[in-house]
A and B are shown apart, each in its own frame.
Chain A
Amino acid sequence: MKKDIKKGKITMTITIGIACFCLVLVMFMQFKIVNETDITSIENMKEAELRTELANWKSKYEEADQAYQETQAKIQEYKETKQSNEETEKVVNSELEQINLSLGTTDVEGQGIEIIVRDSEDVEKIKASDLLLIVNSLKLSGAEAISINDNRIINTSDIVDIGNEFIKVNGERILAPYFIKAIGDPAYLESGLIGNGGYVDTMRKIGQDVTINKSNKLKISKYNNEIKTKYIQ
């Protein structure tokens, strides 16, 4: 009986000792963990928390990256449009220049010929039709710009007789001598007037005083009046 009691007591003592040991051990481990977690919170964070944090940052990064890409694409687009705009501007500008040149709204310069027609005393006076024919043949020979007494001939220019006294060009009165300037290939222009059946030849045969000067640098001033359009839509 005594031995049994002793044995039971020993086992009880050992068991309780082990239990105490385990309890205190685990408690102190826990204390330690809790104590040190504050200092190194990130290192000991729960894996799940870290994972969610990581996922958050990843999605944030992806968003930022996407925004960056979009902005980049936009910038690229703007650049391209800018470039194409510049190109268009260039093209439009050169076209505008060309059109202005041919329209006659700018002073132009180039090689060409100058025809001086003077009234002779014993022959008929120079008429608008004479000038018109000369201008016409100049156009035929490829004249790019024509003026009569510094009145630029444009597409709506008129050359008309007013009575028998004088000639009107672009609505302005002009008097002899008539200086007709034309820019173009001088040789072509001259041959158009003098060559076979040229009008200047005809005039000279009648006895009119026509001189032709070739020039390497001819200046033709611009059309002085406004070009108005009212009915063109």
Chain B
Amino acid sequence: MIFIAILIGCILGALIGMNAPMISYTYSSYLAIAIIAALDSVFGGITSVINKNFDLKIFATGFFGNAILAILLTILGQKLNVDIYLAAIVVFVGRMFVNLAIIRRHYVDKWSETINKKRSIEKKEQ
């Protein structure tokens, strides 16, 4: 059911996004940083699912809150003439890599476990 929701959301978003009106290039940097923040939240959510401590409230607030906070920080940075969004990108992308590593390790562990199981079964059979 969740997969269906994800699929429907992605398709709808893609369709509407493709037909959405052009936004000025001025705001594209805000959108970019919001996307990075949201992706970070998504990977964080997947990691928490793997660790079995997924909380919908934390995920939802993190998803939208991070995006909005990143946008606000970028605006502030532009007002201060400091590229704060660079810091945000470093943090978010760094965390994304960490989460990716956790996810990868989890699945690799699972995979190797199944292989070991198969081997042990084969040995027993022999």
- Measured between beta carbons, the chain B residues less than 8 angstroms from A24 are 9-10, 12-14, 17
Give CA–CA (A13, B63) in the complex, Å: 15
Alpha-carbon separation in the docked complex, A15 to B6 (Å): 10
- Selected contact of A20 from candidates B10, B16, B31, B60, CB within 8 Å: B10
Known pairs A13-B1, A27-B35; A36 contacts B22 (CB<8 A)? yes
Which A residues lie within 8 Å of B20 (CB)? 25, 28-29, 32
**Nearest Cβ distance between residue A49 and chain B, in whole angstroms?**
9
Q: How far is the CB of B82 from chain A (nearest CB, A)?
A: 15
Please tell me if the beta carbons of B2 and A46 are within 8 angstroms of each other in the complex.
no
Size class of the A contact interface (CB-based, 8 Å): 20 to 34
**What is the bound-complex CA distance between A13 and B56, given in angstroms?**
10
A21's contact among B2, B12, B28, B34, by CB below 8 Å, is which? B12
Q: Which of A8, A18, A33, A45 sits near B31, CB closer than 8 Å?
A: A33
B37-58 at interface with A (beta carbon < 8 Å): 38-39, 41-42, 56
State the interface size on chain B (CB cutoff 8 A). 34
Would B9 and A33 count as touching, CB distance under 8 A? no
Is A64 interfacial (CB 8 A cutoff)? no
B17 & A25 in contact (Cβ 8 Å cutoff): yes
Q: Do B22 and A20 touch across chains, with their CB atoms under 8 A apart?
A: no
Contact B60 A30 (CB under 8 A): no
Report the Cα distance A26→B10, complex, angstroms.
Answer: 11
Q: State the 5 A-B residue pairs at the shortest beta-carbon distance, nearest first.
A: A28-B17, A24-B13, A20-B9, A44-B25, A17-B5
| 22 A–B contacts, CB within 8 A, in A order | A8-B56, A9-B2, A11-B56, A12-B56, A16-B6, A16-B9, A19-B9, A19-B63, A20-B5, A20-B9, A23-B38, A25-B17, A26-B34, A27-B35, A28-B14, A28-B17, A28-B20, A29-B17, A31-B17, A34-B28, A44-B24, A44-B26
Q: Which residues of B contact A (CB under 8 A)?
A: 1-2, 4-6, 8-10, 12-14, 16-18, 20, 22-26, 28, 31-32, 34-35, 38-39, 41-42, 56, 59-60, 63-64
Given A24-B9, A26-B31, A37-B25, output 20 extra A-B contacts at Cβ < 8 Å.
Answer: A9-B2, A12-B56, A15-B59, A18-B9, A19-B9, A19-B41, A19-B64, A20-B5, A20-B10, A22-B13, A25-B16, A25-B17, A28-B17, A28-B20, A29-B17, A30-B28, A30-B31, A30-B32, A34-B28, A46-B25
